[in-house]
Amino acid sequence: MWRLTLNKIDKRCEELDILFDYLERNRLFSGVVLLSEDGKAFYKRAVGKLSTKRNSHNAIFEIASVSKSFTAMAVMMLIEDKKMTLEDEITTFFPSLPYAGITIKNLLNHTSGLPDYMEWFEEEENWDHNKIATNRDIIHFLVEQKPKLLFEVNEKWEYCNTGYVLLAEIIQLVSNIPYEDYLYKNIFTPLNMKNTSTHSQFLDSKLEKYVTGFIYDWEKDVYFLPNELEEHKYVYFFDGVKGDGGIKSTVDDLLIWEQSIYNNQLISNEAIESMLKPALVNGETTDYCPGLHRDYGAYGFGWKLENHPEYKGMVLHDGYWAGYSSVLISYKDYNKSLIMLNNLDFMNEKLKKVPHNLALALESVLFNKEVDLEEFKLLTK
């Protein structure tokens, strides 16, 4: 456990200790959390196991869709370098794609209408599940199968992983270096994010400090690896796909990442404002994207956005990958943040609510409220 000793923070740390003592005792959480104020962490706690070892504060987790914020940043950096624009159509980069009118901006804010590639690849008649897919396989699928748009461009909002795979490939085409190398050279290294990578669990060599994700049968107290269960074998055959997910990181590196956005360390303030501007859907800027609080969500470029009546402007993203869940929430008007990386997934559908309930509980404590354990107790009854 790690915490500062400032008087006003001590009470919050005590509340957080109560919460995590309960979760650990009842086998409801395994992972690492960090809460910060004014850009500095005041509470970190590691709970649970890293394979046969206990989790540590510098353990590396799969962050899943939180990766989209990095892809979006890389795009904005190339735009500021005048290598591309938000209004460039994707057919400029992929002439064989039958999707005239879809722009870079549409891919960034999920208004393209493209279908999600995952649904097609999860059907065994479409893809050999013993073979690991890559971004090029996704492009080939779009070119060869020409799936129809779900809706006309800009007509509505629908979360789409396909768009971010395309963005990763466009980054590579425009920069003339692989997507992974672009992130290392232009984001991870300049920010000194030493434990962040695009490492592939099954394609690359073993990553030191990488946390194993588990699917847990809570009632029987039995752990499974995701790829041991039929419904989660996608963790293997999607292991080579990048852009929509695939980044691994730690809570400390993600705090650096969160702060870099407000310090304009990589792009201008004008570009940041563009990233954090909600997409318009039917003339509205909110309530179409599920966020932490169900009724306030919108989407910018690689970030979910909320305008909460109490917590004001929130910039966040969550991620799920079988065996893992993650969330990074920045309360930009208060310079507070919370980061949660989790390597315990549940077979019981009711217990899958634990990460969301935990994020809400962490938020409450961050804003000087007491822990309410009742929501967690109800999940175990």
pTM recorded for the entire structure = 0.96
Q: Identify the band that residue 334 occupies on the pLDDT scale cut at 50, 70 and 90.
A: very high
pLDDT at 6: 44
Q: How far apart are CA 135 and CA 130, in angstroms?
A: 17
> Where on the phi/psi map is residue 110: left (φ > 0), alpha (ψ -120 to 50), or beta?
left
pLDDT digits (tens, 9 = 90+) for 129-177: 999 999 999 999 999 999 999 999 999 999 999 999 999 999 999 999 9
Distance between CA 33 and CA 45 in Å, rounded? 6
Q: Predicted confidence band at 5 (pLDDT cuts at 50, 70, 90)?
A: very low
Judged against a pLDDT cut of 70, whether residue 8 lies above it is answered with: no
Q: Locate the DSSP E strands across 219-360.
A: 222-224, 248-249, 297-299, 304-308, 312-321, 324-331, 336-342, 344-346
Q: Parse the chain into domains and list their residue ranges.
A: 2-47+60-379
User: Is 268 among the catalytic positions?
Assistant: no
Q: Return d(Cα 307, Cα 309) in angstroms, integer.
A: 7
Which pLDDT score, from 0 to 100, does residue 52 have?
A: 59
* Axis-axis angle for helices 161-175, 68-80 (nearest 10): 40
Q: Label residue 230 exposed, middle or buried (CB < 10 Å: 0-12, 13-18, 19+).
A: exposed
Which tens digit of pLDDT belongs to each residue from 63-118?
A: 999 999 999 999 999 999 999 999 999 999 999 999 999 999 999 999 999 999 99
Given 30, 36, 56, 65, which residue is catalytic? 65
Write down the residue that tokens 């997409």 correspond to: 279
The tens digit of pLDDT for each residue in 288-317 reads 999 999 777 999 999 999 999 999 999 999
Domain 2-47+60-379 class, CATH top level: alpha beta
Cα separation values, 122 from 116, 226, 234, 308, Å: 11, 15, 7, 37
Distance of CA 253 to the CA centre of its chain: 14
Contact between residue 286 and residue 298 where contact means Cβ atoms under 8 Å apart: yes
Residue 339's closest CA among 315, 311, 323, 306? 315
Give ∠ CA 125-128-129 in degrees, rounded to 5: 110
Residues 6+ apart with CB under 8 A from 79: 85, 86, 104, 271
